[in-house]
């Protein structure tokens, strides 16, 4: 993992790198077993007691369940200093957690994308803020 010391997520509580690995911040309901992303996107099974929801990190790696290549810039409030179009968006499956998470695909040959390939969670540098910090979003790249 590159040096993330001067890095900040554009919106907090979505992506974590405090463990030395970049991982998505999810929550798990210990009553119905459902994982949520973002953490506040509660989607309990009907009849669940909703007790024992705990914050968890998703594994760093998952499988590409779907993808698309976006050919136009995403309108504001999305912003990046560098032009990123065309960019990939992937739906990455975390099998044990039974959840698929969407995110931008970076550092990957878009022509070589294939369903089922292994992807790892990373960050994408968006811009630097007034405090000269690198502002990032979560992203996925082909696993090495």
Partner 1 sequence: MRDVYIIGTGIHPWMGFSEQVFADFAAVAVEGALKDAAIEWQKIQSIMAGIFIYGGNAGHLSGQYLESIFGETGIPVVNVYNACATGSAAIRMAFNSVVAGETDTALAFGADVSPKGFLTAKSDNAVQDRDVIRWKMGGMPNPIYWALECTKRMAKYDTTEEDLALVKVLMSEYGSKNPEARFKKAYSLEEVLNSVYVCEPLRLFEICPVSTGAAALIMTADEELISKADNPVKINATTMGSAIYGDPTIRISALSCPSVAEAPMLSESYSASRQAYEKSGIGPEDIDVLELPDNSSWHYLVYLETCGFCGEGEADKMLRDGETRIDGRLAVNPSGGFSSHGEALSAQAIWQVIECANQLRGRCGERQVDGAKVAMAQTYGLMGNSGTTILTV
| Footprint on this chain of Zn ion (rule: CB under 5 A) | 29, 31-32, 44, 48
Helices and strands per DSSP (H, E), number in the chain: 0, 10
Based on the shown chain and the rule CB under 8 A, indicate whether residue 61 belongs to the binding site for partner 1. no
Q: How many CB atoms lie within 10 A of CB 119?
A: 25
Q: Closest Cα to residue 82, out of 130, 30, 135?
A: 135
Among positions 7, 31, 60, 68, the unique one binding partner 1 when judged by CB under 8 A: 68
Cβ–Cβ under 8 Å, residues 12 and 6: no
CB of 61 to Zn ion, least distance (A): 26
Which positions touch partner 1 (CB under 8 A)? 9-11, 13-14, 34, 36-38, 40-41, 43-46, 65-72, 74-78, 84, 87, 89, 91, 93-95, 98-104, 115, 126, 137-138
């Amino acid at each position: 993992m590159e040096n993330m010391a001067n890095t900040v997520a554009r919106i907090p509580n979505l992506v974590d790198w405090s463990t030395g690995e970049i991982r998505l911040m999810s929550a798990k309901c210990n009553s119905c077993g459902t994982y949520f992303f973002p953490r506040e996107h509660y989607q309990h099974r009907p009849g669940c007691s909703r007790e024992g929801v705990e914050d968890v990190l998703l594994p760093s790696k998952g499988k590409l369940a779907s993808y698309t290549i976006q050919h136009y810039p995403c309108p504001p409030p999305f912003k990046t200093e560098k032009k990123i179009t065309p960019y990939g968006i992937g739906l990455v499956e975390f099998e044990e957690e039974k959840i698929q998470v969407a995110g931008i695909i970076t550092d990957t040959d878009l022509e070589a994308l294939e369903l089922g390939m292994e992807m790892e969670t990373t960050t994408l540098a968006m811009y630097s803020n007034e405090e000269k910090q690198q502002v990032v979003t979560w992203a996925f790249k082909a696993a090495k």
